[in-house]
Structure 1
Amino acid sequence: MTKYGYFLSCEEYGPAELVEQAVHAEAAGFDSLWISDHFHPWNDEQGESPFVWSVIGALSQACSLPVTTAVTCPTVRISPVVIAQAAATSAVMLEGRFTLGLGSGEALNEHILGDGWPTAEVRQEMLAEAIDLIRELWDGGFVNHRGRYYTADTARIYTLPDEPPPIFVSGFGPEATDLAARKGDGYITTSPDTDLLQRFRKGSGGKPAQAGTKVSWAETEQEGVEIAHRLWGTSGLPGELAQVLPSPRHFEQAAQLVTPEQTRDSVVCGSDPERHREALRPFVEAGFEEVYVANMGPHWRQMIDMYAESVLPVLRA
């Protein structure tokens, strides 16, 4: 049976509000949480970007839902050695209800220390090495690693959970999906692409998959479109732009090419429960074990309440 989670967007909300959303989502019957990991928001209108590991610590004390990072990049901005420690502590605080979601990242967040942004092929190689190093550190011994991209010098993680958390890997194309199948305990994506999902299933031997999407709850469809276009027009950018543009202002410039009508066509907006149910059904029908949904804009409380009353019960039935 499909599980339904709530997606916490660190790009749009401050830490206290994210925790408030999580508590409300648990009370409303959501099964689990996704949380994004960003240094920058996608644009200045979103206006937030709290440190995800601090927020996860607060979540562990405020609610009892499982948490997955969707997703963390362990390759440039933060060393995989440090990510291994952060994830281990999160798993301890969440008493095993933590999944480390990893991906190859975007220049938007990863360029900030002045490092060059690698090609897609190199980013995949870096991610693969990072995953192996993280797992080795979770074994609990001293690690000496001299790899192509990373070094660990007698590094040992002392605070470890009873069992290492699963690692889910994001994939939005064939090569990344193949990497997820080889290296991950599961798969993360934001599209109900059945071809990629089946590619992952075949390559991984049937491991689980999570997917997420965003909606814009508002009293009217037009208000929802205006909110979605103002805050998340960047989601409509095609191809690899989301991976290579370096700053929110560049995303704002590129998003001028996305029209409100394109946003209307790609995002479920308004307060009609059936339209919101239809937004999630393709993911359910594709066969994802877990489906996550985020709200765009200020009306997250109304969105969560509507899902509790009119969306989740129908989908579960």
Structure 2
Amino acid sequence: MKIGYFLSSEEYTPAELLAQARGAERAGFEALWISDHYHPWVDAQGQSAFAWSTIGALSQVCGLPVTTAVTCPTVRLHPAVIAQAAATSAVLHDGRFVLGVGTGEALNEHIFGDAWPPTDVRLEMLTEAVEVIRALWTGDVVNHRGKHYTVQQARIYTRPDTPPPIYVSGFGPKSIDLAARIGDGYINTKPSADMVRRFRDNGGGDKPCQAGFKAAYADTEDEGVRIAYEKWPNAGLPGELSQVLASPHLFDQLAKLVPPERIRQKFVCGDSADAHLEMVDKYAKAGYDEVYVTNSGPHWQGLLDLYQREVLPRLR
């Protein structure tokens, strides 16, 4: 299994993300995820830089492959723009770039006042968006008039020798089936063997499956839980709320209903290498090929050191 590090654009400044990327490479991580948000989930996270600027800068500070986890190419950013951004990123990273896409959240996509579509429409939009992106990556002049997008006489000149893979995020049955049908790989965050099996059985076959989990490094487990609860209480919200709430202050309000113990169950908190190894093992047993860990809070260097010293050597 490939072990990667997840750069959280919602919680750290661009300079901190670059420092984490350099540190992750030195520690022995094999790849990077990076989130693409317009807003943080809650105000306490405090950041949300333009991910595509950070992706460009990453190419100059480390040589690890980068996957967007994930970009929504349907509302806030037109698929023709994402096609150009991803092509440029792949050139900068010498082909070590994967475009991870999903149907997005109202939190990030509502900013122009567009209506937030229901799930079936969002899946339909994502399907067409991926079609547009792949057409533009051929280098041909593209004219497209579809149900959701129009592209007129567009051509991308700066392209990698090989188009980047497109991995598709999916949690519900319809989105997993779509990922299997149109994706070059699959992205998730849950250690669910059923989800991986559905992806593989419905057309995904042996395509790569990526997943990620959160940690809060600290001297004690309780201190890690305190940090995680302060920064990511939204991680305890159930169901489709993460897709439909439109602003950080709404997440802040609902997060008050989340008990800290729920966050303890979702994060790896503290400084235990065994706890990280147990979490990685859950994803391995679920059938994932790659797993990415992100740190919450100020002690990210401690997590990198822990992985370099104990976790990665024991995994290998």
The TM-score with structure 2 as length reference comes to 0.99
User: 2:232: which partner in 1?
Assistant: 232
Secondary structure of 1:246's aligned partner: coil
Verify: 1:33 aligned to 2:39, yes or no: no
User: 1:91: which partner in 2?
Assistant: 90
Q: Shift of the alpha carbon at 1:241?
A: 0.1
Secondary structure of 1:288's aligned partner: coil
Residue identity in the other structure for 2:77: I
Deviating beyond 4 angstroms after TM superposition, the runs of 4 or more aligned structure 1 residues are none
User: 1:145: which partner in 2?
Assistant: 144
User: 2:102: which partner in 1?
Assistant: 103
Q: Deviations over 1:182-238 (max 9, x none)?
A: 000000000011111011111222211000000111001111011000100101100
State how far apart, in whole Å, the 1-side matches of 2:241 and 2:159 are. Answer: 38
Residue identity in the other structure for 2:224: G
* Contact in 1 for aligned 2:136/2:156 (Cα 8 Å): yes
State how far apart, in whole Å, the 2-side matches of 1:198 and 1:210 are. Answer: 13
State how far apart, in whole Å, the 2-side matches of 1:53 and 1:216 are. Answer: 26
Q: Which runs of 5+ in 1 are unaligned?
A: none
State how far apart, in whole Å, the 2-side matches of 1:187 and 1:261 are. Answer: 30
Secondary structure of 2:131's aligned partner: helix
The TM-score with structure 1 as length reference comes to 0.98
* Contact in 1 for aligned 2:68/2:100 (Cα 8 Å): yes
Relative to structure 2, which stretch is displaced further, 255-264 or 223-232? Answer: 255-264
Verify: 1:210 aligned to 2:214, yes or no: no
User: 1:57: which partner in 2?
Assistant: 56
Relative to structure 2, which stretch is displaced further, 193-202 or 66-75? Answer: 193-202
Number of residue pairs aligned between Structure 1 and Structure 2: 315
Q: Shift of the alpha carbon at 1:265?
A: 2.4
Secondary structure of 1:291's aligned partner: strand
State how far apart, in whole Å, the 1-side matches of 2:272 and 2:181 are. Answer: 40
Verify: 1:169 aligned to 2:199, yes or no: no
State how far apart, in whole Å, the 2-side matches of 1:25 and 1:293 are. Answer: 11
Secondary structure of 1:62's aligned partner: coil
Q: CA RMSD in A?
A: 0.7
State how far apart, in whole Å, the 2-side matches of 1:288 and 1:313 are. Answer: 20
User: 1:293: which partner in 2?
Assistant: 293
Verify: 1:9 aligned to 2:3, yes or no: no
State how far apart, in whole Å, the 2-side matches of 1:287 and 1:199 are. Answer: 11
Residue identity in the other structure for 2:133: I
Q: Deviations over 1:63-86 (max 9, x none)?
A: 000000000000000000000000
Q: Shift of the alpha carbon at 1:150?
A: 0.3
Q: Which runs of 5+ in 2 are unaligned?
A: none
